[in-house]
Amino acid sequence: MLEAPSPDGPSDPLGFEVEVQSSYVGGGSVEREGIDVDLDNEWNFSARLLILPRTPVGILRLGAEYEIYDFDIPDNIQVPDRLQALMFIVGLDTKLSDSLLLRFEARPGFYSGDKIEGGDFNVPFLLGGTYLYSSTLQFVFGIGVDFEGEYMVLPGGGVRWKFAPQWVLNATAPTPRLEYEVNNHLMIYAGGELRGKNYRVDNDFVGDPGDPGDLNNAIVRYLEVRTGAGVAWKIGDVGKLSFEAGYVPFRSFNYHRTEVRWHSDGGGFYGAATLKLAF
């Protein structure tokens, strides 16, 4: 997913960011050729650590992230019960001028199914930027590149507009939303989130009962759309704790190098909690 640098960043020679998120989705189903598969529940967890040393050319972004999706589904079907990614983060935030910020970020790592294996290695990356038109209006632009994807290059962008003292329209991918700042420590928001990555399923992944092994070692694109609302509390000067709830209207498993595509036939409600620390 496209990301771009923020006007804010660590002022110290060395900064750190830690982010942990957990979410649960209840219910939903996917369908292919008239066959429904119930996704009784989904559990998602991610943890990221970034080290942000300041250099003469900008702020380096060095770290690692782990993310996992667990799905409660029947056995012996073409929908994986687990997708996970273990990735390193190598990037740079830099300024071309006082109003133009750029970010390059590569995420080399393993994008896998049940088991993390050497053949799952991939290096997606993004190039994005922020143009600071004024203190209340910024434009975001960029591209994401993944050579394992059906579309190897995907554009992105948006606008962040503080149109009133307490209101911000943060219409940028992958989390467009409307924010209201109740006070200096509390914010409420509503909007959406687009999640998507390419993974390689296991070598012994089982397809249809009548066609076992057809999708072994295949690339699958998992896509998930969330719509909801939440509340975020600032924890002193270094942290933010967020709680969010809403609905997942769309999920899909797209084996884009084959004719196998599973898409939503019913959504489910979700809840999520996120802790972010920056110091």
The pLDDT of residue 1: 45
pLDDT in tens, 237-254: 899 999 999 999 999 999
- What is the structure's pLDDT at 119? 93
| Residue 169 near residue 137 (C-beta atoms within 8 A) | no
Cis peptide before 10 (omega within 30 of 0): no
Give the CATH superfamily of 14-278: monomeric porin ompg (2.40.160.40)
Residues 6+ apart with CB under 8 A from 190: 177, 178, 228, 229, 230
Q: Is the confidence at residue 4, as pLDDT, over 70?
A: no
State the pTM of this model. Answer: 0.91
Residue 8 three-state SS: coil
Question: What are the pLDDT digits (tens) for 183-222?
Answer: 999 999 999 999 999 999 998 886 554 454 578 899 999 9
In contact, 82 and 75? CB cutoff 8 Å? no
- 114-128, 201-215, 264-278 — which is least confidently predicted? 201-215
Q: Which two tokens stand for residue 131?
A: 């143009």
Model pLDDT, residue 215: 87
The mean pLDDT value for 139-157 works out to 94
- pLDDT tens, position by position, 69-118: 999 987 767 899 999 999 999 999 999 999 999 999 999 999 999 999 99
pLDDT at 237: 87
User: 33-73 pLDDT, tens per residue?
Assistant: 888 889 889 999 999 999 999 999 999 999 999 999 999 98
Between 7 and 182, the more confident residue is: 182
- ∠ CA 28-30-31, nearest 5°, is 140
pLDDT value at 5 more than 70: no
CB under 8 Å to 76, separation ≥6 — which residues?
206, 209
